[in-house]
Structure 1
Amino acid sequence: MSTENIVHEEKAQLDFSASMSYTDYLSLDQILTAQHPRSPAHDELLFIVQHQTSELWMKLMLHELRAAIRAIADDDLSIAFKMLARVSRIMEQLVHAWDVLATMTPPEYSAMRPYLGASSGFQSWQYRCIEFALGNKNAAMLKPHSHRPDLLAEVDAAWRAPSLYDEALRLLARRGLAVPADHLERDWSKPYEASDGVEQAWLVAYREPKKYWELYQLGEELTDLEDAFRLWRFRHVTTVERVIGFKRGTGGTGGVSYLRKMLDVVLFPEIWKLRTDL
């Protein structure tokens, strides 16, 4: 190929006027102009980008969690395992995101805090849907979204639906394990209550992993997921304490005191307890 032809071909490859470009495909014009700092503080852009990117990861997490729940309900565990593994990796991304926000010092945050009003991560409807999908049901958490009927409908649907763990227990029962009936059909909007009978069902799978390999693996996927979620909660509370101390949250919560209470929430209690009883 002649030099002239090579130059012509390279020019053709660099001309995207007649086709979809990278910027077009990713809607970067909209994404990169969606940051609107309200204060003169240099560090507000960090705060905005941190939370916007977290919301994007949570969008993907919800997409994967909902699909995993459907897959478990359909007894398609190979697909569910891939999705749950991806959710755990997303959680790792969110854990490391706190490292960046932790570079913000207390004076830097104080310079922009008055401009936040009552806005708070506590009001994230996607995060609330994730909590509900993982089984941490709390009717009081619907209220922060009552001013947006469209978002309230999303959160309410997640609140009323069976959680990931609820569907896992239904699967155990379909595979012949003795899960108590009151954990198979109940009001899904109520907080989950641990059961010795449920633990006994999991113990059967864990004591005979070769016979119940898929159920055993499901238990470990759930363990991985909660492990990653606990790390995220821990980094959240330590970052908040590092940046604002024990001030109340902008959304009206107790801030660090509220987040510390969340550290005690166990999503899949029997899977953790059986490790002691094996």
Structure 2
Amino acid sequence: MPSDADADAVTRTANRRDLEEGIRTDFSEDLSYGTYLDLDRLLSAQHPRSDPPQHDELLFIIQHQTSELWLKLLVHELRSARSLLMADELQPALKRLARVKHIQHTLTDQWAVLATLTPSEYAQIRPWLATSSGFQSYQYRAVEFLLGNKNVDMVRVFDHDDAAHHMLDELLHEPSLYDVFLAYLSRRGYAIPQDVLDRDATQPPALHEGLVDVFAAVYAAPGEHWGVYETCEELVDIEDNFQEWRFRHLQVVTRTIGHKPGTGGSSGVDFLRRALDLTFFPELYAVRSRIP
């Protein structure tokens, strides 16, 4: 009969996963996970400013830093989708847009973490933000520009940052994802109005009834236009997701500061609420009224 000591040894062994023989443990020369991801630099990039230190400031910093990483990936994927459409490669572009939607969901879900910050807790760290504001995120503006919400005034916010200013100025003058999609349709024989194809790329889209006519024909017979129909719905999904992100942002700001002005000088909640009226793809919503 086994002793109590033997039984304890069996229990400890059963509750332990031994390293397999082939698992690497010496990274004096080989590439490690931390080195590949540059974790030393990444994890040392949080610099709370509150004095005395406030526990919740790290949450606020990490929330926004991780958002910027996801925005970087959004820009990467949207640029790629745009290039693929320019090359008439619709299916790979749709794969990119599917990934964009998942990234958007992650960004929106993150608001739930920041919403755990109560008004009293946020008040302890807000003074240390000084004049910094999420409004000043150039990657967020890059995503908006890629989707078509162009605004030259936004570029001037980044006069102090040559790299950001250059990036946004380029995107301001380049066609948006929607512009490229419409050009793709024209090459495929769809009757895209010429003034739509020749429009000023620095301006946001304005509803064009002739373009609604084109999409009405697509939605009247989706089976005959499946790839185009699917792309239209993917774009609508992306806009819906973007609006959901905007709304969650609005709600989190409302619950933490009410109607106080924003740290960057905006009116705060009222300024954010006006963004809900903006649209990237006006004809893809207008066409819904045409469907019997």
TM range (shorter): over 0.9
Q: 1:9/1:214 Cα in 2 relative to 1: closer, same or farther (>3 Å)?
A: closer
Deviations 1:22-69 (A, max 9, x none): 100111000000000000111000000000000000000000000001
User: What is the aligned partner in structure 1 of residue 87 from structure 2?
Assistant: 74
User: What is the aligned partner in structure 1 of residue 46 from structure 2?
Assistant: 35
Q: State the distance in 1 between where 2:214 and 2:244 align.
A: 27
Q: State the distance in 1 between where 2:87 and 2:213 align.
A: 24
User: What is the aligned partner in structure 1 of residue 262 from structure 2?
Assistant: 249
Structure 2 unaligned segments of length 5 or more: list them.
1-17
RMSD between aligned alpha carbons?
A: 1.4
| Matched AA of 1:26 | L
Conserved 8 A contact 1:240-1:256: yes
Conserved 8 A contact 1:172-1:201: no
Trace 1:166-177 onto structure 2 (pairs within 5 A). 166-177=179-190
Q: Give 1:11 deviation, angstroms.
A: 8.2
Q: State the distance in 2 between where 1:152 and 1:276 align.
A: 39
| Matched AA of 1:189 | T
Q: Give 1:152 deviation, angstroms.
A: 0.3
Larger Rg belongs to? 2
| Matched AA of 1:102 | A
Structure 1 unaligned segments of length 5 or more: list them.
1-6
User: What is the aligned partner in structure 2 of residue 24 from structure 1?
Assistant: 35
Trace 1:216-231 onto structure 2 (pairs within 5 A). 216-231=229-244
Q: What secondary structure is seen at the aligned counterpart in 2 of 1:20?
A: coil
1:182 is the counterpart of 2:195? yes
Q: State the distance in 1 between where 2:142 and 2:84 align.
A: 18
1:199 is the counterpart of 2:212? yes
Normalised TM-score (structure 2):
0.90
Q: Give 1:108 deviation, angstroms.
A: 0.8
Conserved 8 A contact 2:205-2:281: no
1:53 is the counterpart of 2:62? no
Q: Give % identity.
A: 50
| Matched AA of 1:190 | Q
Q: State the distance in 2 between where 1:182 and 1:235 align.
A: 36
Q: What secondary structure is seen at the aligned counterpart in 2 of 1:251?
A: coil
- The 4+ residue runs of structure 1 with deviation greater than 6 A are none
Q: 1:205/1:11 Cα in 2 relative to 1: closer, same or farther (>3 Å)?
A: closer
Deviations 1:117-169 (A, max 9, x none): 11111000100010011111111101110011121000111111100111111
Q: What secondary structure is seen at the aligned counterpart in 2 of 1:95?
A: helix
Matched residue pairs, number? 272
| Matched AA of 2:98 | A
